[in-house]
Amino acid sequence: MKKIRETVSYYRQQLKHWYIVALLLVGYDIVAVNMAYFFALWFRFDCRASMIPGNYFSAYLKFIPIYSICCVLVFWMLRLYQSIWRFASYSEMLRIIVATAITSVIHIVGITVLFSRMPVSYYLVGMGIQFLFILGVRFSYRFILLERSRREGEETYTSRVMLIGAGAAGQMILRDSMKSKETNVKICCIIDDNPNKWNRYIEGVPIVGGREEILLNVEKYHIDKIFLAIPSASAEEKRDILNICKETGCELKNLPGLYQFVTGEISIKAMKDVAVEDLLGRDPIQVNMEEIFQYIRGKTILVTGGGGSIGSELCRQIAGHEPRQLIIFDIYENNAYDIEQELKEKYPYLNLKVLIGSVRDSRRIQQVFETYQPEIVYHAAAHKHVPLMEVSPCEAIKNNVIGTYKTAYAAMLNGCQRFVLISTDKAVNPTNIMGASKRLCEMVIQSFDKAIKEGTVDQLPNLFTHKEEKLVKIQTLRMNAGKENSIRTEFVAVRFGNVLGSNGSVIPLFKKQIQKGGPVTVTHPDIIRYFMTIPEAVSLVLQAGTYAKGGEIFVLDMGVPVKIDTLARNLIKLSGYKPDVDIKVTYTGLRPGEKLYEEKLMAEEGMRKTPNKLIHIGNPIPFDQEQFLLQLNDLMQAAYENRGDIRRIVEQIVSTYHPAINGSEKKGKIYQELYKEIAVTKAE
């Protein structure tokens, strides 16, 4: 009961306050509308009351009571006493205009008909003054509250912000900061490279100059945050600006892109932390999504390793292109479950099947192909961690090489149209077993492609640890029936560099180390890598699927490689710290199998163009297919026996694999040559 009484008392107080405000406004309006027309009469006769003719003044006085009642009734009907004026906006102003128009007509007709015709200027000036009086008192209340909030806010702002970009996006960010208390930021100055905007103002905020003025004005205005609001800027332009900003020690925020601008989602909340990939300065790869859509639409697609970082992104993009059925195949049920739930929520009508199993299990992989008959396979299942594979080399061979062979064999046997292998730049002149295993995977799919084109499919061995008679019987029946000529599976590989944000990426490791206060560990001060984002990598894979004719190795032009040391130091700066001052950078030495550089292609492979200028095709290095298949059988036996000389066997098969390449002298020479090539390329 006590709570009920308190509630009733509260609403009584609120009601009383509302009535008081309304009554005060009624009293003000009565005075205001009558004073408006008195001033109109006064102005008409040179601002001298003694000069006002008696008949005019008499008519005015007689009409005052009638007009006051009419105004109050009109204002009440138009809800001018029920509005919350602290939130007054265009709607309230429009109602005041309508109220003024109606009451002015009443005044003109009423005083003319009932008492006397007045001067024309009296009607017009009176109407104008009345409008100003009625509008002014209501909106001045809102203005006073806003000004008070602004002054109070000056003392409570937690962040002083520099805004980069005085375009449409920048103006929207600026207005959002002014009207939203939740943002709790004050934009102190604006940077823009357009000289025509310098020394001018937007909403009272000065545009202080171009990017060369960033450092000076950060100090002048005591800036602690920088907002980059140029969604149309190229990746290279953003990189150049951010490279200046990261030297300030300020927290950096970036507007993601044009999409938010087009959809009207530009606000301070839409600003994202600047990621280290924003400093790479490479425009994202552009692919023909319509071409990909036409290729994928209506097909049954299998993604092995579909729960991994690359595999899951493949599933996301494929799911949005209307496949007939999407099959996710993964050994790790937690990842598979996560991507399953995500896709079910986003694409409720997607025909999705999630299967658990290993590509090393020939019976299981054959069962999947027989049951679902996929037309396209994206083979992303693999062990990818270089140091761990150096410790367990036989597992790299079992999972990567033999797993790829078994999956490719099942695809070919069951009439799959296209098989796309996810490869890596570590397959080029590999110095580690993981890279060598991926090169072997490329050789496997090249062998399958060659066997299909030459009609020698029957020479492909059954590399099955489970000598399943059913598999052998299926193969024998098909070959005896002369159906090998109908096998048209196209096998291709897609090779790219390190993927930012993927499982095992160096960026998450650096972030964890920074959060702990350091040190950030880099293996070598001169180590370099090519980088791309997960969506870029997946777009490339999908595009390669549309270009494939069989046997190709597709390669992304990833631009200039990046020093890992530079990447680490930039990440420290983006986190608001100073390298080697707040966060130490330490060098731990190259890990087993790791090399200073990565190459996209072996020199002897050469390059061919595709319709996409950022995607190239490497001409396959010729090798003895028959000998390779025999060696592959021996390699499988050695892997399953967990033999210690597995590297020696791999080295005999992959001529470019040199596990002893860790010699610093040889590596240093290659590194120097690589940077010479980069310098020449940039100069051109």
- What integer is the mean pLDDT of 206-235? 84
Say whether both 269 and 325 belong to one domain: no
Say whether both 244 and 342 belong to one domain: no
Give ∠ CA 662-665-666 in degrees, rounded to 5: 65
Whether 139 is in a domain gets the answer yes
Q: pTM score, two decimals?
A: 0.62
Q: What is the DSSP string of 539-570?
A: HHHHHHHHH--SS-EEEE---S-EEHHHHHHH
Whether 95 is in a domain gets the answer yes
CA distance 232 to 262: 11
For the cut 60, the answer to whether the pLDDT of residue 466 exceeds it is: no
Say whether both 9 and 115 belong to one domain: yes
CA distance 138 to 100: 14
Most confident option among 306-320, 397-411, 454-468: 397-411
Q: How many domains does the chain have?
A: 3
Say whether both 601 and 462 belong to one domain: yes
CB 266 within 8 A of CB 173: yes
What's the confidence (pLDDT) of residue 24? Answer: 80
Whether 510 is in a domain gets the answer no
Say whether both 308 and 262 belong to one domain: no
Say whether both 43 and 113 belong to one domain: yes
What's the confidence (pLDDT) of residue 249? Answer: 78
CATH number for the domain spanning 389: value is 3.40.50.720
Q: What is the DSSP string of 78-95?
A: TTTTTS-GGG--HHHHHH
Whether 680 is in a domain gets the answer no
Q: What is the pLDDT of residues 139-177, one digit of tens each?
A: 776 677 666 655 555 555 667 888 888 887 788 888 777
Alpha helices for 414-556 (secondary structure H): 433-454, 469-480, 506-515, 534-547
Q: What is the pLDDT of residues 55-81, one digit of tens each?
A: 888 888 888 888 888 888 888 888 777
Alpha helices for 593-661 (secondary structure H): 625-640, 646-653
What's the confidence (pLDDT) of residue 441? Answer: 92
Say whether both 344 and 450 belong to one domain: yes
The residue segments making up the domain with residue 65 are 2-152
For the cut 70, the answer to whether the pLDDT of residue 594 exceeds it is: no
For the cut 60, the answer to whether the pLDDT of residue 553 exceeds it is: yes
What's the confidence (pLDDT) of residue 302? Answer: 95
**174/490: higher pLDDT:** 490
> How far are the Cα atoms of 431, 524, 652 from residue 660, in angstroms, in the given order?
7, 18, 14
CA distance 420 to 239: 33
Q: What is the pLDDT of residues 602-618, one digit of tens each?
A: 555 567 777 777 677 87
Neighbouring C-beta atoms of residue 378, cutoff 10 Å: 28
Say whether both 9 and 139 belong to one domain: yes
Half-sphere exposure (CA, 13 Å, Cβ side) for 89?
A: 2
Whether 674 is in a domain gets the answer no
Say whether both 494 and 642 belong to one domain: yes
Give ∠ CA 308-313-318 in degrees, rounded to 5: 125
At 19, which amino acid appears? Y
User: Kind of pairing, strands 251-254 and 562-563?
Assistant: unpaired
Q: What is the pLDDT of residues 291-325, one digit of tens each?
A: 777 888 899 999 999 988 888 888 988 898 889 99
Say whether both 645 and 551 belong to one domain: yes
Say whether both 105 and 208 belong to one domain: no
Q: What is the mean pLDDT of the chain?
A: 78
Say whether both 115 and 180 belong to one domain: no
What's the confidence (pLDDT) of residue 676? Answer: 47
Whether 326 is in a domain gets the answer yes
What's the confidence (pLDDT) of residue 340? Answer: 92
CA distance 78 to 96: 8
C-alpha closest to that of 350 among 320, 310, 307, 309:
320
Burial of 574 (0-12, 13-18, 19+ CB in 10 A): buried
345-359, 462-476, 666-680, range with the lowest pLDDT: 666-680
Whether 514 is in a domain gets the answer no
What's the confidence (pLDDT) of residue 6? Answer: 57
What's the confidence (pLDDT) of residue 581? Answer: 82
